[in-house]
Amino acid sequence: MEYGVKAATDIYDEARFRERLGLPFTTKKFAAIAKVCVKDLTDEIAAGIKPQTNNDCIRVINKYLISYFGNY
């Protein structure tokens, strides 16, 4: 019983930590992490930070990386 309570507490704490940092709750798939990265790049473009470079990165992530590594 004590082990189950500790395991549940650890999972809950990690979920709260990830939510605070804006990370997805499950990071087992490349696509989930890549989508967070694309969102961050889009926010940078809106702020005027390296718009051309970030657009190129978003294009490569969506066209090549997610399609190839999406389920890994």
pLDDT of residue 11: 77
pTM (predicted TM-score): 0.64
Q: Pseudo-torsion of CA 58, 59, 62, 66, nearest 10°?
A: -90
pLDDT of residue 43: 94
pLDDT of 1 higher than 70: no
Contact call for residues 61 and 37 (beta carbons, < 8 A): yes
